[in-house]
Amino acid sequence: MKRTTLDYRDGAVDLRGVLLRDEARTGRRPGVVLFPDARGIGDHAVECAARLAALGFVVLVADLYGGGVTARDVAQAHEWMGRLRADVERWRARAEAARHALAQQDGVDLARMAAIGHCFGGTTVLELARSGAPLLAVVSFHGGLSSPRPDDAANIKGKVLVCHGAADVLVPMTQLHGFTEAMTKTTVDWQVQIYGGAAHAFTNPGADDPAHPESGYHPAADKRSWRAMLRLFDEVFGAIH
């Protein structure tokens, strides 16, 4: 498994992502952009990317803030996230910069690309999709489901999978209802999977923190949502082994 730093840009902002691929595999491979949670690039995101790379995907863990920085705590993460979300065009452009950077890498099949994300990253992939980005699939794991421009869902080109925890107090069922209402008005192929008892950040083994009881790891939901993503990738990419 080869892991390298990928420097790319969004306008005047220097970005630094993490690129993972299995160099033993030849030919053009599907590309997956992975957007991390609000803290920035961390162990959980890189570990998920490595699992996908081992399956034959070329994966870029995207940098949302510049310089590959990681927030020192939740308060700083919320501050950075809030600044980016305040301007939806800038937010979408930041996400598109990552997709474009991955598309330029040798061995990536431009016709077979997807994007996935966790928490704020899950919200980000949905905004990227609403911008009309050329993606065959997008997957949001415990991401926020509200949007400043919900009607832009009509622009989505690929299939959408939302994996949601029924016990997620940060993304309540009322928000999920608004999302499904907006998606129902489109012709997009979309699905939502809800996991009983799963709280926010249910895929992250590091989410069990007494200081933040609203989040927590849920092993069953983690495994089921991962399998759901792979089933979707099988649909849109076909066999890649």
**What percent of the chain is predicted at pLDDT more than 70?**
100
Cβ burial of 88 (10 Å; 0-12, 13-18, 19+) is middle
pLDDT tens-digit readout, 133-145: 999 999 999 999 9
- Is residue 209 pLDDT above 90, yes or no? no
- Tokens for 50, please give them: 């490595």
What kind and span of H or E run contains 164? strand 159-165
Work out the pLDDT band at 210, boundaries 50, 70, 90: confident
**Cβ atoms of residues 178 and 145 within 8 Å:** yes
Q: Residue 65: what pLDDT?
A: 97
- Is residue 241 pLDDT above 70, yes or no? no
Q: What is the mean pLDDT of the chain?
A: 96
Question: What is the number of other CB atoms lying within 10 angstroms of the CB of residue 105?
Answer: 15
Work out the pLDDT band at 239, boundaries 50, 70, 90: confident
- Is residue 238 pLDDT above 90, yes or no? no
* Dist. CA 2–CA 50, nearest whole Å: 9
Total number of domains constituting the chain? 1
Q: Give the domain extent around 136.
A: 2-237
pTM for this model (two decimals): 0.96
Instruction: Report the CATH number that the domain containing residue 130 is assigned in CATH.
Output: 3.40.50.1820
8-31 average pLDDT score: 95
53-65 average pLDDT score: 97
* Dist. CA 85–CA 89, nearest whole Å: 9
Amino acid identity, position 127 = E
What angle do the packed helices 74-85 and 88-103 form, to 10 degrees?
A: 100
